[in-house]
Each structure stands twice: as structure tokens, then as C-alpha cells.
């Protein structure tokens, strides 16, 4: 069931087109992330949904009614800012009560709902503190409580975790997901962190230069990136230049200069012989193997980095570079810089993307 | 609304995600399109209503009078002509050129000496620590709590022709006449340096506080000598403070009126020439002189703004403060304390003198070198003699009215200038800042020229000769103080706070009352207090615009002086000093802002 519809939205700032004719439907209770590098237009998208920017073109529809020009203060959405935007001169209580008071709720309701919201984010007892007396994580939770207190049907989050340290980020991530699922809120989340997007989202919309590069579930986007941009952005995928040499039995043979490997075409874009392609291989799908293994590539070890559970390696292969991730306890992790070896990859894990001219 | 089809990529992306191209068609019917246009319009309407109001006020009371002044300067006997400028720049009768030269000469020396004094003190108190050093460092700014006219009068009592200090020296050495008297160029210069070195002192102190001394360490590690480091690293980083100090001092000095008016003797400066032309009824020449002086001031301010925007060296990292040098050796410490005490005394001497004179009953001090009788009787007159309390009351009312209007105006204008993007923002900003650049003399002259006829903007009345023109002049001349400090606070206010409040459903009134106002209040209040004290003690515009019914406190002081009621004059001065001290303490300690910030 469609809850929020973004229809052909365009927003320009002077000569810059921040959002360029973008459409997206979001179902009730869905968690959708707008993922992209800084300046890709994702925050502008969110601000248009919140009513803080007016689109130059296009419409925003919620539950069937057009809200494109409804002012922000009549939309009733919850919005969490990157810098939290807590009112510094108000207590936690007053901050969280702000939206309820703006709606003219009775004092009784305000007190009850504020308590409920603060319990949700586990900050009961902090009512009389000022934001400056709270840690970053606590401030973040107050911002969340403030956005949730008035029970919005749509929650918008603009990089809410980017100012937290790594551990707190993971904890809060789980917290946000729990609240969103418990209340069945429709959530739109903006981030440039692909790991965060993967962990939270029902669907991810990868944005670049004001447009969607790909929309899909985290698994779809990870395993089947639509183009080299998505492939590179979503993970440390190896993207190599190659050329299709032959196509037979639903497989394609690709020449990458230093090696020729097979790719299973099942579920992929069609390929034809002579076509220039990008060859995408996830680092975890590369195995150290013997020279006679299928799809083996001769490489030389360049850099070895130990991370604890895993070890990442960079290999030189002809004039191209390959990254691989392996478990540190595997024998291959013992390779040293300068050693020559072979890497193999399952043809099912070799993704071909048409090279744009 | 035109219907665009999605780009192939967008369609492909959408298709991949299981969503076809947008299913809801773009609204094609005229009704929806009109609704959209209306929505867009309404979002901008509020902004433009506010802009229109602010612009109307500025054009009526700033733009129009200045335009009239420029026009009058280009008029001779009702005809358009450059005759006034030919007269101004006439080498055969160089009165005006001399005055211009004197103004520039005086300002040059004021800048130079103020820089030397201000910089030396700033460096000294920044680098060295000894008993009481922080207190002394604060005491240095005491000239700030002295209105220009009052400090001139105190200096005259101290060092003037009948001053106490020359008198005491005469008695002590058994001379026939006082060995020196404060007057003319050197007298004005002394008072200028006394009142204006604090601009350098405060700007440099602030710059030194912000200064990241790790860059000096970095230079040393890179092999630079101390001299090379000073020349290539330290000085360039402090340069903005020096330049800003020089420009501000230059401008204040060019506009200065009180000191040249009281002490000028035969040393005429341009601001006095304007005043004299007005007294002689030669408004065309007054307008011409005002245009010349005004242009110089505006050029200086524009240079300052351009320079501020161009060269802000803020350190990139956290920075390392300087570890101040503790003066541990006994004799050095004693010398430093003694020098500081002496300096504080010199700086406080005019205040002390003012207080002593305020204790002198009228008619008791005639031929004696020092006043023979001291009593608090004059302070009682503050409540019993209309000649004393009426000017105080007038100044409170007029400065209060101007400040109230200034605050209301500043809240709207600052919001527009800092938070809203609209066509004409630069013009608005310039019109607000021009009165800040202009001397009170010019503001007053332009008002006399513009408002000597009924206008729609003055509700069909002739303002000249009424009690209304003076508070209006205070408003125009001093309103930039509130706008600047309010704008500074608003710039600190993160836009996302306003957006957060809107997204939580607050209407504009609630956003303003609950979010914007509480946060910018300290800035507004310190600007308002500053505007009030300046309006309260205003002299330059007042002397040109006051009428019998609204004589402000500065005119009251002059009148008491003319009646040789020195004690009463001093009491009025003390009232101003106390008010300024209160404001300084409130703004610095309670509001957490430094009142000088509004100047820069």
C-alpha cells in the first residue's frame, strides 16, 4: 500500500540541479534509505519531503493527498537532524514537549506523551537536564524522542548517527530500527554510510548527481549493483575493465588483459562478443587457488592488512588492482608482499556491467 | 506544469526496483496548477512584505535625507551646479580644504599614536602575569565608560587653561602663568588617543587570545629565527586586527565633534565646518561638506568590510594558547605593578576629576587652584532643579523611544539579512550600515535638509523644530548597533533549530517567541543597551537638532557650563558614566557578550 509518493521531483539551486526528476513510491511501514555521496541531492530530497524546501517541479503525495506546498508545520512528520537541532535554552522535557504544545495538547497529554517518548529512548529521569548537560548519544536520543513524541506517521532522519562514535552508532542503529518496527512508522533515512543503509533498510535508493542510480533491497543492491557507481559505492567491489570474448551456454568469457575468466549470465544483462564491460567481483568471493583452478588469475601480493577476524589483501594483476578479503586463520592470509599466486572466482560471482562510452 | 517523462536511467532504475514510472500523472488541469502557483507565491509573500516594510523605513529616513543632501550640494540658488564643490576645492580661499587637511592630519596622528599605545598594552598584558595583572588588563578599558563630551570637559578641568594640573605646577614652581594649557591640535590629539586607543587594545587582545601559538612553534621547528617568525608568521596573522583598528580609529577620528568643538580654537576640522555652515545658514555648503566627509567615512567602512571578508585567519586546529610569562623576580614585579597602577591612575584621572568637580557647590571655586569646598549638594539638585532633571528625563525618553524602535526594527531587519535569501539583500544591508559609517553631524544635517517640509513619511508635518526629529536622528544613527549585535546572534543561531520547530508543527509566532527570541535575546539586549547609552549621551546630532522642549543631557551639561555651574554639569556627567558602567558590566558579565563587538 502506497503511503508516500514522490513524483518527478526536481529542485534547482541557481545553476545546480540538486534533485533531477526523481520518482519513488514508499509503502506504509517501510524503511527506505537514500544513500549517496555528499552533494548527491539526498538531503534536498528529505527537505522537500519535510516541507523545508519547495520543489521546482513535481509533486509529493501522502495517503493520496497532495502536500507539495503544505508548509512544514502542517505536515506532521517527525524530523531528526544530523546535528540534532535541540533547542539549547530548553530542558529535555521542554524539547520533547515542543511539538505537542505546538499542537495545543492539554498539559496532561503533554506530560503523558513526553514520559512515553522518553521511556522509549530510555531517557526517563533526564527531563530537567539541558541539552548541553547530555552526551552526544543522549542528545541523539532526545532528538529521536522529540520527533516521535507527537506520533508522526512518517519519520525523516538526516544522517542522525554521523556525529556518534562507532560503538554508539551501532547501538543507536538497533534502537532506531526497534522503534520504527514497533510503531510501524514509515521511515526515510538519509546517509552516506553504506553499512548503515544495509543494516537498517527495507529498500535502498542509491543517489548520485540528483538521480537514482538504483533502488532495491540491500541484498539486491549488494549482489547485483546496476552500474559501476553503485558497485563502487556500496562496497569495496573490484571493478575491472574487460571485453567479452565469447558467449556460449549462458556464460560469457571476458578478457581483462592479465586473465580470461567466465561469468554466468543468468539473471544479468545480456552480453555479446566484442562488448566492453566492467567486471565486478566482491572481495570476499576471491580465493587463493592453484594455477589450474577454473577462473584462475595470476597475481602478485602488494599490501597485506590485518584486521583481526579478517585480513584484506591488495594484489597487482597486470596494470589492474584486485582486493580480496579472507579469514585471518586461513592459510592464504600468510602470503607476504611480493609473492606470486593465483586467485580464483566462481563464475556465478562475476558480474558484468555494460561500460558506458 | 509541463509533463516530463523520466530519463531512461530513472525509468530503468525504477523498473529494476519493481516500481514502474510514476503512476500518478502530473497534474495537468489548470486548477491544480493554479493551486501550486499560489502555494509557491504564499511561501514568498511573507518575506516580501517584511522586506517592503524595512526598505520603506530605510528609504524614508536614511536614503531620502541623504539623497536630498547630495542634491542640495549640487544646487546653487535653486539651480543644478557644481559651484559648491568649486568653492570647497577653491585654492584661493582654502578654508574648507584646510579643514579637510586638518581632519586627515588629526586622524593620521590619532591612528598612529592609538596603535602604539593600544598594541603595547595589549602585548604587555597578554604576555606577562604579575599580581593584579588581569584586573589591570580590564581597567585599561575604563575610557570606554566615558562619553566623548564628558571626557573633553574632564580633560579641560584637568589640563585646560584654568585646569588643576597646570595650576598646581604654576604654584609649585612659583610661575606667573600656567606652563601649558590643553587646547588646539595637541589637546584634541591627546583626548583622541585617550578615548580611541581602546579600539586597538581590544581588537589586538581578542586576536592574541585567539592566536594559535603552535604556529610559532612550528616555525621554530622549521628553523626560523625569532625575528623571521615575528615578521613572516606572527605579524601577518595579527594584521587583520591592526587594519581593522586603524580603519575604525580613522573613521571615529574623522567624525569626532566634541573635542574639536570644545578645544579646537583656531584648529578647524571638517565636522566643525559643517556645524559652522549650518549656523551661518549656508545649507548648500553644509551639504557639500557633509558629502565630502560622508564619502570618506563610507569608503573607510567599505574598505573595512571588504578587508574583513577577505582576510580572516582562523586557526585550523584546536591551537595552543601562549603560556604567559610569570614575572617572578621581585624588582621586575614591583616595576610592573607600579607601572600598571600609574597607568590605571592616568586612565582614571578624568573620572576622578569629574567626581571631584561634581562635589563643588556653585560659586565656591573662583580663584583657588583647587576647589576649597566639597559637598554632595549638587546631587540633590538632580531631584529638585528642573535644569538638572529635565535633561536627564528628556534623554531617557528620547533614547528610550529610539531604542525601542531600533530593537523592533533590528529584529526584523537582522532576520532578513542573515536568514533569508531575497533580491535586494545587499541594498538592505548597505542602507542599514551607512548610518553607522556616518558621523552624527551628517545624519543631523541631512535630516534638517530633508524634513524642513511636510512629507508623507513624516505624517505631513515639518519635523525640523519639533521634538520628534531628535529621537528619529538617534534611531537612524544608532540603530546599526542593535542590528549588528542582533545579526551576530542570529548568525550563531543554527537554521536547523528553526526548521526543527517548524517540522514539529510550530507556527511562525511560536517559532519566533519560543526559539528565536530566547536565543538571540542576549545579542538584542546588549545592542539595545549600547544604543540606549549612546543615545542617552548623544551630543553631535543633538546640538544641531534640539529644541527648548527636549534639551538632552549633553546640551544640559553645556548650558550648566555656560552658567559656570560646574558642579551641576559634572553631576550630569557622573549620571552618564554610571549608566555606561552598568551597561558595560551587564553586557560583559550577564549577557556574556563584549559590548565592543557591536562596534566592529
Q: What is the pLDDT of residues B430-484, one digit of tens each?
A: 888 888 889 999 999 999 999 988 888 888 788 888 889 999 999 999 999 899 8
Q: Which residues make beta-bridge pairs with A4?
A: A26, A62
All cell numbers assigned to A159: 544522517
**Interface contact flag, A87 B32, Cβ < 8 Å:** no
Q: What is the pLDDT of residue B397?
A: 96
Query: Of the given ranges (B197-206, B351-360, B422-431, B463-472), which has the lowest mean pLDDT?
Result: B422-431
Query: Is the minimum CB–CB distance between A3 and chain B shorter than 8 Å?
Result: no
User: Which pLDDT score, from 0 to 100, does residue B259 have?
Assistant: 92
Give the whole-angstrom CA distance, residue B560 versus residue B552: 12
Strand partners, A278: A241, A353
The model's pLDDT over A65-78, given as tens digits with 9 standing for 90+, comes to 899 888 888 888 99
Residues of A in contact with B514 (CB under 8 A): 87, 98
> How do residues B279-318 score in pLDDT, each as one tens digit?
999 999 999 999 999 999 999 888 887 877 666 555 444 4
Q: Do A71 and B43 touch (CB under 8 A)?
A: yes
Is 80 exceeded by the pLDDT of residue B592?
A: no
* Residues of chain B positioned with their CB less than 8 A from the CB of A50: 499, 503
| Residue B282 to residue B285: CA distance in whole angstroms | 6
pLDDT per residue as tens digits for the range A186-236: 999 999 999 899 999 999 999 999 999 999 999 999 988 888 899 888 878
**Residues of A whose CB is below 8 A from B16:** 214-216, 226
Among A147, A156, A211, beta carbon nearest to B9: A211
Torsion A206-A208-A210-A214 (CA) sign: negative
Q: Do A87 and B506 touch (CB under 8 A)?
A: no
How confident is residue B208, by pLDDT bands cut at 50, 70 and 90?
A: confident
Give the DSSP H or E segment for A28: none
Q: A140-175 burial, b if ≥16 CB within 10 A, otherwise e?
A: bbbbbbbbbbbebbbbbbbbbbeebeeebbeebbeb
Tell me if B14 and A215 make a contact (CB, 8 A cut-off): yes
Instruction: State the number of CA atoms in the 13 A half-sphere of B404 facing the CB.
Output: 7
* Residue from A165, A222, A225 nearest A195 by CA: A222
Three-class SS state of A38 = coil
What local confidence, expressed as pLDDT, does residue B382 receive?
A: 86
pLDDT of residue A74: 87
Collapsed DSSP state (helix, strand, coil) of residue B235: helix
Percent of chain B surpassing pLDDT 70? 89
Could you report the predicted ipTM of this complex, rounded to two decimals?
0.81
Predicted confidence (pLDDT) at residue B2 exceeds the cutoff of 60 = no
User: What pLDDT is recorded for position B454?
Assistant: 86
Instruction: Report the residue of chain A nearest B505, measured CA to CA.
Output: A73
CA distance A32 to A42: 12
**Which residues on chain B are in Cβ contact (under 8 Å) with A59?**
24, 26-27
Q: Output phi, psi for A280, to 5 deg.
A: -110, 125
The C-alpha cell 556518534 sits at A164
Encode burial over B123-150: b for 16+ CB neighbours within 10 A, e otherwise.
Answer: ebbbeebbeebeebbebbbbbbbbbbbb
Max Cα-Cα span within chain A: 77
SS3 per residue for chain A: CEEEEEEEEEEEECCEEEEEEEEEEEECCCEEEEECCCCCCHHHHHHHHHCCCCCCEEEEEECCEECCCCCHHHCCCEEECCCCCCCCCCCHHHHHHHHHHHCCCCHHHHHHHHHHHHHHCCCCCCCCCCHHHCCHHHHHHHHHHHHHHCCCCEEEEECCCCCCCHHHHHHHHHHHHHHHHHHCCEEEEEECCHHHHHHHCCEEEEEECCEEEEEECHHHHHHCCCCHHHHHHHCCCEEEEEEEEEEECCEEEEECCCCEEEEECCCCCCCCCCCEEEEEECHHHCEEECCCCCCEEEEEEEEEEECCCEEEEEEEECCEEEEEEEECCCHHHHCCCCCEEEEECCHHHCEEEECCC
Taken in order B202, B205, B209, B213, the sign of the CA dihedral is: positive
Choose among B209, B183, B204: nearest CA to B141.
Answer: B204
**Per-residue pLDDT reduced to its tens digit, B76-119:** 888 888 989 999 998 888 889 999 999 999 999 999 999 999 99
Higher local confidence (pLDDT), A193 or B35: A193
Distance of CA A57 to the CA centre of its chain: 26
**Contact across the interface for B26 and A52, Cβ inside 8 Å:** no
Residues from chain A that touch B13, judged by Cβ atoms under 8 A, are 211-215, 226
Provide the grid cell at B333: 614585579
The grid coordinates listed for B102 are 586638518
Which residue does chain B place closest to A74, by CA atoms? B505
CB contact under 8 A, B43 and A54: yes
Residues of A in contact with B24 (CB under 8 A): 5, 7, 59, 61
Q: How many CA atoms lie within 13 A of B583 on its CB side?
A: 25
Residue range B548-561: mean pLDDT, rounded: 92
What 8-state DSSP symbol labels residue B128? E
Q: Which residues contact B531 (CB under 8 A, 6 or more apart)?
A: B399, B402, B403, B406, B478, B479, B481, B482
- Select from B274, B260, B241, B278 the least CA-distant residue to B118: B241
CA A134 vs. chain centroid, Å, equals 28
For residue A31, the cross-strand partners are: A187
Q: B464: exposed, middle or buried (C-beta count within 10 Å: 0-12, 13-18, 19+)?
A: middle
Q: A99 and B505: CB-CB below 8 Å? A: yes
> How far is residue B586 from each of residues B249, B525, B568, measured CA to CA in Å?
25, 10, 27
Whether B16 has a pLDDT exceeding 80, the answer reads no
Say what the pLDDT of residue B320 is.
Answer: 57
* pLDDT at residue B226 greater than cutoff 70: yes
Record the cell numbers describing residue B135, joined without a space: 584586573
pLDDT tens for chain A, residues 1 to 357? 789 999 999 999 888 999 999 999 999 999 999 999 988 999 999 999 998 888 988 999 999 889 988 888 888 899 999 889 999 989 999 999 999 999 889 999 999 999 999 988 889 899 999 999 999 889 999 999 999 898 898 999 999 888 888 888 888 888 889 889 888 899 999 999 998 999 999 999 999 999 999 999 999 999 888 888 998 888 788 999 899 999 988 899 999 988 899 999 877 777 788 889 999 999 999 999 888 888 999 999 999 999 889 999 999 998 889 999 999 888 787 888 999 999 999 999 999 988 764
Among A22, A68, A214, select the one facing B36 at the smallest CB separation.
A68
Contact A81 B496 (CB under 8 A): yes
Q: Which residue has the higher pLDDT, B364 or B186?
A: B186
Query: Taking 70 as the threshold, does the pLDDT of residue B566 lie above it?
Result: yes
| Alpha-carbon distance B240 to nearest alpha carbon in chain A (angstroms) | 32
3-class DSSP state for residue B455? coil
**CB within 8 Å of chain B, chain A residues 20-79:** 20-25, 50-52, 54, 57-59, 61, 66, 68-79
User: A 79-98 residues with CB below 8 A of B?
Assistant: 79, 81-83, 85-89, 98
Contact B7 A211 (CB under 8 A): yes
pLDDT digits (tens, 9 = 90+) for B389-400: 999 999 999 999
Q: Looking at the predicted structure, is the pLDDT value of residue B265 above 80?
A: no
Contact A291, A298 (CB under 8 A): yes
Rounded average pLDDT over B358-373: 82
Contact B457, B468 (CB under 8 A): no
The residue in chain A having the minimum alpha-carbon distance to the alpha carbon of residue B497 is A85
Q: CA nearest A347: which of A298, A289, A279, A256?
A: A279
* Window 167-226 of A, Cβ < 8 Å to B: 203, 205, 211-216, 226
B127, containing H or E segment: helix B95-127
Residue from A53, A54, A72 whose CB has the most chain B CBs within 10 Å, to mutate: A72
Q: Which whole-number Å values give the CA distances from B39 to A68, B17, B362, B416, B502, in the listed order?
A: 9, 32, 72, 21, 17
d(CA A140, CA A201): 20
Q: Which of A23, A41, A53, A99 to mutate to test the interface with B (most CBs of B within 10 A)?
A: A23
Question: Residue range B29-56: average pLDDT?
Answer: 77
The rounded Cα B406 to chain-centroid distance in angstroms is 14
**Per-residue pLDDT at B243 exceeds 80:** yes
pLDDT at B20: 38
Instruction: State phi, psi for B320 to the nearest 5 degrees.
Output: -120, 125
B522 neighbourhood in chain A, CB within 8 Å: none
Q: How many CA atoms lie within 13 A of B555 on its CB side?
A: 20
What is residue B10's predicted lDDT score, i.e. its pLDDT? 41
Amino acid at each position: 500500500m502506497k503511503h508516500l509518493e514522490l513524483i518527478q521531483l526536481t529542485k534547482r539551486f541557481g545553476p545546480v540541479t540538486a534533485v533531477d526528476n526523481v520518482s519513488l513510491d514508499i509503502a506504509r511501514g517501510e524503511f527506505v534509505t537514500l544513500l549517496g555521496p555528499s552533494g548527491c541531492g539526498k538531503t534536498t530530497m528529505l527537505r522537500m519531503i519535510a516541507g523545508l524546501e519547495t520543489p521546482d517541479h513535481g509533486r509529493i503525495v501522502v495517503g493520496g493527498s497532495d502536500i507539495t506546498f503544505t508548509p512544514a508545520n502542517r505536515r506532521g512528520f517527525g524530523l531528526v537532524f544530523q546535528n540534532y537541532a535541540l533547542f539549547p535554552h530548553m530542558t529535555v522535557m521542554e524539547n520533547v514537549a515542543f511539538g505537542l504544545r505546538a499542537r495545543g495538547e492539554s498539559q496532561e497529554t503533554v506530560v503523558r506523551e513526553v514520559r512515553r517518548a522518553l521511556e522509549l529512548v530510555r531517557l526517563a529521569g533526564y527531563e530537567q537536564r539541558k541539552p548541553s548537560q547530555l552526551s552526544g548519544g543522549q542528545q541523539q536520543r532526545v532528538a529521536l524522542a522529540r520527533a516521535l513524541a507527537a506520533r508522526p506517521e512518517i519519520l525523516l532522519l538526516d544522517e542522525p548517527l554521523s556525529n556518534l562514535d562507532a560503538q554508539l552508532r551501532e547501538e543507536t542503529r538497533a534502537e532506531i530500527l526497534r522503534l520504527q518496527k514497533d510503531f510501524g512508522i514509515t521511515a526515510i533515512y538519509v546517509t552516506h554510510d553504506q553499512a548503515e543503509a544495509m543494516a537498517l533498510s527495507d529498500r535502498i535508493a542509491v543517489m548520485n548527481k540528483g538521480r537514482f542510480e538504483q533502488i532495491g533491497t540491500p541484498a539486491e543492491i549488494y549482489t547485483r549493483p546496476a552500474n559501476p557507481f553503485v558497485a563502487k559505492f556500496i562496497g569495496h567491489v573490484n571493478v575491472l575493465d574487460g571485453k567479452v570474448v565469447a558467449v556460449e551456454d549462458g556464460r560469457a568469457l571476458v578478457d581483462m588483459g592479465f586473465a580470461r575468466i567466465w561469468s554466468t549470465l543468468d539473471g544479468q544483462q545480456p552480453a555479446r562478443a566484442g562488448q566492453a564491460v566492467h567486471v565486478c567481483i566482491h572481495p570476499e568471493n576471491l580465493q587463493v587457488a592453484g594455477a589450474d583452478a577454473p577462473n584462475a588469475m595470476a597475481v602478485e601480493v602488494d599490501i597485506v592488512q590485518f584486521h583481526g577476524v579478517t585480513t584484506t589483501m591488495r594484489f597487482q594483476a597486470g596494470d589492474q588492482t584486485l582486493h580480496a578479503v579472507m579469514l585471518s586463520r586461513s592459510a592464504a592470509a600468510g602470503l607476504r608482499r611480493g609473492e606470486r599466486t593465483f586467485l580464483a572466482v566462481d563464475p556465478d560471482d562475476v558480474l558484468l556491467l555494460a561500460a558506458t562510452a | 506544469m509541463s509533463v516530463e517523462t523520466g530519463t531512461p536511467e530513472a525509468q530503468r532504475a525504477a523498473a529494476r526496483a519493481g516500481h514502474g514510472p510514476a503512476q500518478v500523472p502530473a497534474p495537468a488541469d489548470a486548477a491544480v496548477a493554479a493551486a501550486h502557483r499560489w502555494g509557491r507565491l504564499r511561501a514568498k509573500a511573507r518575506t516580501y512584505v517584511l522586506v517592503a516594510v524595512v526598505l520603506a523605513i530605510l528609504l524614508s529616513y536614511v536614503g531620502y535625507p541623504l539623497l536630498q543632501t547630495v542634491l542640495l550640494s549640487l544646487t546653487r540658488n535653486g539651480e543644478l551646479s557644481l559651484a559648491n564643490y568649486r568653492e570647497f576645492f577653491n585654492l584661493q580661499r582654502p578654508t574648507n580644504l584646510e579643514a579637510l587637511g586638518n581632519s586627515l592630519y588629526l586622524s593620521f596622528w590619532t591612528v598612529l599614536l592609538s596603535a602604539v599605545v593600544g598594541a603595547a598594552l595589549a602585548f604587555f598584558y597578554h604576555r606577562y602575569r604579575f599580581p593584579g595583572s588581569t584586573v589591570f588588563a580590564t581597567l585599561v578599558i575604563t575610557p570606554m565608560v566615558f562619553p566623548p563630551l564628558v571626557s573633553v570637559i574632564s580633560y579641560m578641568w584637568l589640563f585646560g587653561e584654568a585646569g588643576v594640573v597646570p595650576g598646581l605646577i604654576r604654584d609649585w614652581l612659583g610661575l606667573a602663568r600656567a606652563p601649558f594649557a590643553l587646547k588646539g591640535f595637541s589637546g584634541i590629539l591627546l583626548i583622541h588617543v585617550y578615548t580611541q586607543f581602546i579600539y586597538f587594545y581590544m581588537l589586538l587582545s581578542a586576536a592574541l587570545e585567539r592566536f594559535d601559538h603552535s604556529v610559532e612553534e612550528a616555525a621554530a621547528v622549521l628553523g626560523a629565527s625569532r625575528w623571521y617568525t615575528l615578521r613572516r608568521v606572527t605579524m601577518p596573522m595579527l594584521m587583520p586586527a591592526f587594519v581593522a583598528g586603524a580603519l575604525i580609529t580613522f573613521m571615529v577620528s574623522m567624525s569626532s565633534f566634541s573635542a574639536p568643538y570644545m578645544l579646537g580654537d583656531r584648529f578647524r576640522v571638517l565636522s566643525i565646518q559643517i556645524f559652522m555652515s549650518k549656523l551661518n545658514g549656508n545649507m548648500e555648503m553644509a551639504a557639500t561638506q557633509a558629502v565630502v566627509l560622508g564619502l570618506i567615512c563610507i569608503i573607510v567602512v567599505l574598505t573595512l568590510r571588504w578587508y574583513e571578508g577577505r582576510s580572516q585567519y582562523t586557526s585550523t586546529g584546536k591551537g595552543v594558547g601562549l603560556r604567559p610569562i610569570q614575572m617572578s623576580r621581585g624588582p621586575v614585579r614591583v616595576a610592573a605593578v607600579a607601572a600598571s597602577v600609574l597607568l590605571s591612575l592616568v586612565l582614571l584621572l578624568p573620572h576622578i576629576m569629574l567626581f571631584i568637580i561634581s562635589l563643588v557647590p556653585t560659586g565656591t571655586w573662583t580663584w583657588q587652584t583647587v576647589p576649597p569646598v566639597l559637598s554632595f549638594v549638587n546631587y540633590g539638585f538632580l531631584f529638585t532643579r528642573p535644569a538638572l532633571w529635565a535633561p536627564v528625563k528628556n534623554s531617557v525618553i528620547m533614547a528610550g523611544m529610539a531604542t525601542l524602535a531600533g530593537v523592533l526594527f533590528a529584529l526584523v531587519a537582522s532576520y532578513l539579512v542573515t536568514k533569508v535569501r531575497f533580491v535586494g539583500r545587499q541594498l538592505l544591508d548597505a542602507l542599514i550600515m551607512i548610518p553607522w559609517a556616518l558621523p552624527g553631524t551628517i545624519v543631523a544635517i541631512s535630516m534638517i535638509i530633508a524634513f524642513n517640509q511636510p512629507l508623507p513619511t513624516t505624517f505631513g508635518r515639518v519635523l525640523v523644530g519639533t521634538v520628534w526629529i531628535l529621537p528619529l536622528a538617534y534611531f537612524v544613527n544608532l540603530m546599526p548597533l542593535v542590528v549588528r549585535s542582533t545579526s551576530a546572534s542570529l548568525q550563531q543561531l543554527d537554521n536547523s533549530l528553526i526548521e526543527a520547530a517548524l517540522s514539529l508543527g510550530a507556527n511562525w509566532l511560536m517559532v519566533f517567541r519560543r526559539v528565536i527570541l530566547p536565543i538571540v535575546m542576549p545579542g538584542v539586549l546588549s545592542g539595545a543597551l549600547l544604543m540606549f547609552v549612546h543615545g542617552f549621551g548623544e551630543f553631535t546630532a543633538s546640538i544641531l537638532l534640539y529644541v527648548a522642549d527636549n534639551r538632552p543631557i549633553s546640551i544640559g551639561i553645556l548650558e550648566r557650563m555656560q552658567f559656570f555651574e560646574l558642579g551641576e554639569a559634572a553631576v550630569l556627567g557622573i549620571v552618564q558614566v554610571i549608566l555606561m558602567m552598568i551597561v558595560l558590566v551587564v553586557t560583559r558579565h550577564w549577557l556574556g557578550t563584549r559590548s565592543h563587538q557591536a562596534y566592529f
